[in-house]
Amino acid sequence: MFSPFSLWSARPFWRRLRLRKKAPPLAIALIIVSASTCYAAGKGLAKLYVSNSEEDDITVIDLATYTVIGDIRVGEQVHGLCAPSDGRRLFTTIESENNLKVIDTRTDKVVDTIHLTGRPNQCASTPDGRYVGVPIRNGNSVDIVDTAERKVVKVLPVLQPHNCYNADNDDAMFVSSMGGQEINLIDLKKMAYAKKIPVGGIPRPYAVSKDGKRLYAALSDFHGFVIASIPDQKIVARVDLPPAPPAACRLEPHTPTHGIELSPDGKELWVTSLADSGVYVYDVATNHFSTEITVGKCPNWITFSQDGRYGAVSNSGSDDSSIIDTRTRREVARVKVGRSQKRLLAVTVP
């Protein structure tokens, strides 16, 4: 059931540049026409942004051509990435500067910087882009940023915060508490906690269904994930991934499962296994795994294109990103990026 698929490895960026210089005029014209087709169809340009945590930049990949098309210098120890649903802006957290930077996705230029109260981790944006939640690791707190006012408007206490998450809701935000072993739901209208959902261990990355009823969380030292009922505030299932050797990933200690995300239609949960460099696809209706996809070393994070056609995985151990065709569940490209990437995010730019 869990058979790996064959791989295709993309050439490094410098090699691609060399090949482009040798490409005949017809080939160049075809590439330009292909890239322009997205705009002509009114779908926008699908970009993949990858944060390189041990460098100072974000790599930009065109999902239509699987090629690197840009690089954004943002500051040392770039970490989190999040964006509103219109795709016009990208938010990124910079650990070395304690700030949130705003990027115009059409130009891929930094257009604003918002000061935070401490060292940030993974952010989350509301669909309308009004609020951005940012866990503050050295403050045992979470900052709520009002992007219109360009400042932190609320600070809530969280014991050892880790990641924020938004489930397509302008009025709610989630933040994980590693110290409290729970995921906290924030009511953005009241700027207060509405629920605290225990997960039975130290929460790592997690995903939430768009109806706000189900939560799926990876845990430290657990090769799998738990499923929790948000209304009932309790765990309803523990799901083990197939056996794997001990993980030896430098950036993700004690974390055999790290990347976890629901497909845009909410029917599948994609989960990474760091030790065996794989991604498992879990059917949320039948509660069964349907396939395994082999990717790069130490798969860290998962994102999907807005239309659900592509999934992408950041491989922190091999400094590349895997692009997966979700229909065939095959890795169609592995693109070399910067050093020690952590987060990645697919954005459709209008």
Please, what is the average pLDDT of the chain? 89
Q: Retrieve residue 220's tokens.
A: 């430290």
Measure CA of the first residue to CA of the last residue in the chain; give whole Å: 39
The predicted pLDDT at position 207 comes to 98
CATH class of the domain defined by 13-22+43-349: mainly beta
Alpha-carbon distance of 256 to 247, in angstroms, equals: 6
Confidence of residue 151 (pLDDT cuts 50, 70, 90): very high
Largest CA-CA distance found in the chain, in angstroms, rounded: 62
Taking only the tens place, the pLDDT of each residue in 174-231 is 999 999 999 999 999 999 999 999 999 999 999 999 999 999 999 999 999 999 999 9
Region 279-289 average pLDDT: 96
CA angle 268, 270, 272 (to 5 degrees): 165
| CA–CA gap between residue 247 and residue 230 (Å, rounded) | 30
Three-state SS at 14: helix
pLDDT tens track for 17-64: 333 333 444 443 444 344 434 433 457 999 999 999 999 999 999 999
Can you tell me the mean pLDDT for 312-327?
A: 96
pLDDT tens for residues 253-271?
A: 899 999 999 999 999 999 9
CA distance 179 to 141: 12
Domain edges within the chain: 13-22+43-349
CB-based contacts of 14, cutoff 8 Å, min separation 6: none
Contact between 176 and 206 under an 8 Å Cβ cutoff? The reply is yes
- Residue 269, Cβ density class (10 Å: 0-12 exposed, 13-18 middle, ≥19 buried): buried
- At 30 the pLDDT is 43
**In the prediction, which pLDDT does 27 show?**
43
Which pLDDT score is estimated for 247?
A: 81
What residues have CB less than 8 Å from 141, skipping those under 6 apart? Answer: 117, 118, 135, 155, 156, 157, 158, 161
pLDDT of res. 38: 44
